[in-house]
Amino acid sequence: MFLIEKKSTFQSFSPFRTAGKRSPPIDFDIICTSFDESILRRLKPLSISTSYPPSITLSWLSLAVEFVSTTHAEAQALISNITSGSHDDGSKAVYLDFSVKLLDICNAISSDLEKLRYRRLLMSFVIRLLQVSDETEVPAREQLKKASDSIAEWSNSPRDVPKRRSFENRDPEALIHDLAAAISKISPPRGKSTSVAKAVLRTIYAVGLVTVFVARVAVSALRGGSEVVNVRVPSEFLWADSVNDLESLIFRGGRKVVLTELDDVETRTRGVGDLIVAVNSGDVESKMLPLRNAVKGLETSTNVFSEGLDRLGNGVSEMFRNVMSTRNVVLENFRVGANEKQRK
């Protein structure tokens, strides 16, 4: 787990710090600007090269998930502070609707990661079958056949894995469309944020935009797809150009987004498969050394892929737990507010 609990940077904005004293008016524009500057600062590590076609690494996706988790945590801290004591059920309802969709997306991405773990098992099996301790040793025909069959399963049925009930989720593309539609309905107020409600809606809208962006990239890269849904960040946000430029680089031309580590494993897998065919055809002497070298390269590539996959999986799980924890707090506030209203 690489994401740690972070203390809010917005503690000083609470208007309820001094009991018995009248607090000065809150400048919501300063609060929103500070939040925007924090997003802009944390977007910098997510810059990518201008290579074409666009390539995304598992390390980049892990950083992007961490970015969304941190943005979500800071947004909730900000909202909690400026709505403290107000029982703003409207904004809480908007947040709960948004967060449940985010939890669904986390589950959908976890399902895709589970499929990639299954493919990782196939490659580990191939490597074990083809590894030899002696340079003069040739794998048995049965081993070559099993390795060839596993490679064929990898290549021909990459998404066809045994279903598990805990991973039977809706299609992630549809979930992202739902989240984007929910965010578009918020319609954040233009101009200055002069009230609690306007500041809250603007904050939820902002965290929704960055969530949709990262979710789109993650699903496109993991599934080998192209652009899922198009959401542009309005220019009123300080970080609009950063996200919009990243989006243009990643999805330009409608080309599929390449997951670098997975693409490397697939290329090396095809190479091993071709060499197995040559060895089975009788060309043992000239192809065994290339086959051994190819298997070593596949092992190295698979290890890199495996480490990145585990890190991303941990990040998604951590984000799920953070969002669930925040939802529990909001739901508890709902109950407290309802009880207070009943007593009045």
The two most distant CA atoms of the chain are separated, in Å, by 90
The verdict on pTM exceeding 0.85 is: no
Instruction: Give the separation between CA 198 and CA 295, rounded to whole angstroms.
Output: 58
pLDDT score of 49: 76
Check residue 302 and give its pLDDT: 96
- The two three-digit tokens of residue 28, written as one number: 């919501």
Q: Specify burial of residue 338 (Cβ count, 10 A radius: 0-12, 13-18, 19+).
A: exposed
How would you write the pLDDT of the chain (344 residues) with one tens digit per residue? Answer: 333 333 334 443 333 344 444 555 677 888 899 999 999 999 999 988 776 667 799 999 999 999 999 998 888 888 878 776 555 566 677 778 888 888 999 998 998 899 899 999 999 999 999 987 776 778 889 999 999 999 999 887 654 344 444 444 568 888 888 888 888 877 665 666 667 778 888 888 898 899 999 999 998 888 876 656 777 899 889 999 999 999 988 887 777 788 999 999 999 999 999 999 999 888 888 888 899 999 999 999 999 999 999 999 999 999 898 888 877 877 776 665 555 555 55
3-state secondary structure 139-201: CCHHHHHHHHHHHHHHHHCCCCCCCCHHHCCCCHHHHHHHHHHHHHHHCCCCCCCCCHHHHHH
CB-based contact 148:298 (threshold 8 Å): no
Q: Domain extents for the chain? A: 25-335
CB 172 within 8 A of CB 114: no
Residue the block writes with tokens 């107000």: 86
pLDDT at 340: 53
Rounded-to-integer distance, Cα 78 and Cα 74, Å: 6
